[in-house]
A and B are shown apart, each in its own frame.
Chain A
Amino acid sequence: MSVLIIVEHDNQSLKSATLHAVTAARECGGNITLLVCGWQCEPVAQAAAKVAGVARVLVADAPCFADGLAENVAAQVVTLAGAFSHVMATATATGKNVLPRVAALLDVAQVSEITRVVDAHTFERPIYAGNVIATVRSSDPIKVISVRATAFEAAPLEGGRALIETIAAVEDTGLSRLISRQTIASDRPELASARIVVSGGRGLGSGAHYAALLEPLADKLNAALGASRAAVDAGYVPNDYQIGQTGKVVAPELYIAVGISGAIQHLAGMKDSKVIVAINKDADAPIFSVADYGLVGDLFEVLPELVAQLG
């Protein structure tokens, strides 16, 4: 077995998402090679070489990779893939964008968002919004796999001494170009990797209430903030807060759902959390069926009290 992992980065730092794919790759067995497609991305290559368990880092450094456009990255991956039994990436927005393009160019199926490696050819993955777990086997010569980050621990960032090898970059496909990128700045822990997540739904009533009630609690717990689709659609928070089938999937140690009814779509994104707390005034809300601790009450009274008692 030999696994090629597409590294996610911003040309300066390695995104921790990649580390989860490294762990999944180790479970498949064999050698692990990381591929960094970037522009002036030397710091990323250096960081990738230190990741525990990695044998080799391939670096394709060219202007056409500056913006991580799928067309160019996929073209580069395809030139290398023939030498590997597995091609992997973590199922982030970036991974989901590039990997199916790679699979189709290789004329192989892709296994999306695996949650368990049964053996090097057999994987578990959730379907129907996480309500069903399918075990699938791939008979393709190259297995193209995206990895659900929350299902695999992050590989250590230190301890590896991989060889860095520069490879020739493909030519720019010229099919697409980046116009602009807007990143939402935040001092809070990243949602996908936070130890505690405080999440709000339609029950909060407005963006001002969301901020006034949830931010103090998140500050106290050093938690990331999340939201249901209803809260995002209502404009309380930006949509990268969204947790669920179509948003982010989280599995923190503690998930506090405030004013969230618990639709199937939302549960798909958080039901693997270790401890789930639900605060809702509707005693029949479906969220209580997955909550370890439920508190039926008015969130406008409960939350300030909770913040006060956390001292």
Chain B
Amino acid sequence: MKILVAVKRVVDFNVKVRVKSDGSGVDIGAVKMSMNPFDEIAVEAAVRLKEAGVATEVVAVSCGPAACQETLRTAMAIGADRGILVECAQELQPLAVAKLLQAVFMREQPRLVVVGKQAIDDDSNQTGQMLAALAGMPQATFASQLQVAGDEVIATREVDGGQETIALKLPAVITTDLRLNEPRYVTLPNIMKAKKKPLEVLTPQALEIDVAVGLTTLKVAEPPARSAGVRLVDVAALVAKLKNEANVI
């Protein structure tokens, strides 16, 4: 079966972002960008299903500016067979991405779609669920285990207070939790090979999707800073502060 994996290009998780001085946005002009960590897990999961003989083809898709081609090449270096870029200069919000992914889903007709549970830039945690809704598919969010059995996919989900295991009818959408797998490092030979893999570029217009934004960001700001704390010399001083100054114990 064919698996579609969605990947997003985001500010690298190690970068501490800065707000632009006029509050209009976050300054990402010169910072390092990488594949969203949850999406790496999604690609790894799809490639492992291929290695296990369950999947026949893994297609990576990304929506955004031309630079997302790098992210797709990374996905192909991990093991995706080909890439699709939906090139779009405007800001894309989760609902627009879900609509674009649904259009790609209709063209490609995969049996399984795997996406990260959230992107570490907008922290929305919406796209997978929205795609599932638009395509009328079942969803397993926050998956930490995955297994395809016949015409079902069995997923264990991380939920508050424990785990639950659900079975979904294929085609289905999976969103990946951190614990699903440990993504492999890409090797130089695989990076070279990825350069030769096919990469198709589409546009929202070609897919006939309106990507107009639903939410307007009025401003962004740094969160209020915490006042500087004190270093204490020993446990007795700490206990005294907690009891007498902070009054929390």
Residues of A within 8 A of B (CB): 69-71, 74, 92-94, 96-105, 107-113, 122, 126-140, 173-184, 192, 196, 221, 229, 233, 238-240, 245-246, 248, 253-254, 264-265, 271, 274-277, 288, 290-296, 302, 305-306, 309-310
Contact = CB atoms under 8 A, between A and B. Distances in A.
Contacts of B234: 295
Contact of A175 (B95, B157, B169): B169
Given A97-B141, A100-B133, A104-B98, A130 B223 contact: yes
Contact of A179 (B144, B167, B222): B167
A111 B235 contact: no
B249 A221 contact: yes
A104 B123 contact: no
Contacts of B236: 309
Contacts of A182: 162-164
B137 A175 contact: yes
A69 B172 CA distance: 14
B159 A93 contact: yes
Nearest to A123: B215
A294 B129 contact: no
A74 B118 CA distance: 20
Q: Taking each of A92, A177, A277, A293, which has the highest tally of chain B beta carbons within 10 Å of its own beta carbon?
A: A293
A253 B160 CA distance: 21
Interface in B106-157: 117-118, 120-134, 137-142, 144, 154, 157
A296 B230 CA distance: 11
Interface string B28-48: 000000000010000000000
A239 B163 CA distance: 10
A299 to B, nearest CB: 11
B165 A179 contact: yes
Contacts of B121: 127-128
Contact of A138 (B128, B215, B219): B215
Contacts of B16: 131, 264
Contacts of A96: 125, 129, 141
A179 B230 CA distance: 51
Given A132-B17, A132-B223, A109 B214 contact: yes
Contacts of A97: 129, 139, 141-142
A129 B14 CA distance: 11
Contact of B133 (A69, A104, A180): A104
B171 to A, nearest CB: 10
Contacts of B52: none
Contacts of B222: 131-133
A98 B157 CA distance: 14
A94 B26 contact: no
A247 to B, nearest CB: 9
Contact of B229 (A140, A173, A293): A293
B142 A93 contact: yes
B161 interface: yes
Nearest to B169: A175
Nearest to B144: A239
A122 B162 contact: no
A112 B121 CA distance: 13
Contacts of B164: 178, 180-182
B231 A126 contact: no
A69 B239 contact: no
A127 B158 contact: no
Contacts of B235: 295, 302, 305-306, 309
Contact of A74 (B127, B133, B163, B230): B133
Given A134-B220, A275-B242, A111 B232 contact: no
Given A103-B95, A132-B220, A181-B164, A110 B124 contact: yes
Given A137-B216, A288-B229, A240 B132 contact: no
Contacts of A309: 235-236, 239
Contacts of A136: 215-218
21 contacts: A69-B166, A97-B141, A97-B142, A100-B125, A104-B133, A105-B134, A108-B95, A109-B215, A110-B126, A127-B121, A133-B221, A138-B215, A181-B162, A254-B246, A274-B248, A275-B246, A292-B226, A292-B229, A294-B230, A295-B232, A295-B235
